[in-house]
Amino acid sequence: MNFWVTYLSYSVHTYLSNSVHTVYVTLFISIYLSIYLSVYLILFLSIYLIFFSIYLILFICIYLSIYLITFLRSTFKSNMIPAQRCRSSIQDLRYQVNFYLSIYLSIYLSIYLILFISIYLSIYLSIYLSISVCSYLIYLFIYLSIYLSIYLILFITFYLYIYPSIYISLFISIYLSIYLSIYLSICLTLFISLSIPILFLLYCLSCLLALYFFFLSFLYIKFFLSFSVFISEYFSFLFVCTRSLLSYSS
């Protein structure tokens, strides 16, 4: 058992040691867990509160009906005079109105309890479960952002210094724009999972914002890298010219 646990942990650690795999795995886990937890909470609370509301409605209606029937029987008498029968009919009508109002109020209060308890429990459970589930993901993405930022800075510096060309700058700009869009979408997903689980609309908003930041970062990085490539090619051209002049003079 310990061998399999060690083997699985080592396999997961080896797989997640690659930064790209870690980004995609964490993206999938965050999206899957946020959708799963929100759907699970909605279904669980809906089923539980439906049964709870049915129980409350039946209990309140049965109790009030028994209570009002006993009152109607106690007030009903066969040897009444017409005035007493009129007052009795008015009183019976009043009890019937109270009975129907009690049924209406019981249904209204049960619906109110459904809304209140569902909103309260959904907010509380979503915050609790999101903090417990996504705290590791937040720490992981802070670490990954620092690691990948250093890695990408070194990568850009090395390749622009050794191999200055347009194709490499285009590849780096596409890679960085994809990385920034994934990072922004995951940050927005984690932020949304800590809020009220109206996940579908908010996730659509996060996707739109991720696309917006994707194009913005792509344009910014393309401009920055084209300028860097132009400077590097200018200095490489100067270096080649000076070396050719020195060789010609010698």
Model confidence, pTM? 0.27
- Asked whether residue 221 is domain-assigned, the answer is yes
Asked if residue 7 belongs to a domain, the reply is no
233 contacts: CB under 8 Å, gap ≥ 6: 164
Which tens digits make up the pLDDT trace of 48-78?
656 665 666 566 556 655 655 555 555 554 4
Residue 4 lies in a domain: no
10 lies in some domain = no
pLDDT of residue 2: 42
Span 167-214, pLDDT tens digits: 655 566 666 666 665 665 666 556 555 555 555 555 555 555 555 555
Rounded CA separation 8/11 (Å)? 5
Report the pLDDT value the prediction gives residue 111, as an integer from 0 to 100: 61
Domain encompassing residue 106 = 16-249
> Does 196 fall in a domain?
yes
Cα(199)–Cα(179) distance, integer angstroms? 23
pLDDT in tens, 221-248: 555 555 555 555 555 566 666 666 666 6
Q: Where are the alpha helices (DSSP H) in the chain?
A: 2-16, 19-75, 82-162, 166-193, 199-249
The reported pLDDT for the residue numbered 218 is 52
Residue 5 lies in a domain: no
Domain assignment present for residue 6? The answer is no
Residue 27 lies in a domain: yes
User: 228 and 155 in contact (C-beta within 8 Å)?
Assistant: no
Average pLDDT value for residue range 108-124 = 59
Amino acid at 248: Y
Confidence (pLDDT) at 32: 62
Q: How many domains does the chain have?
A: 1
Q: Assess contact for 226 and 170: CB atoms under 8 A.
A: no
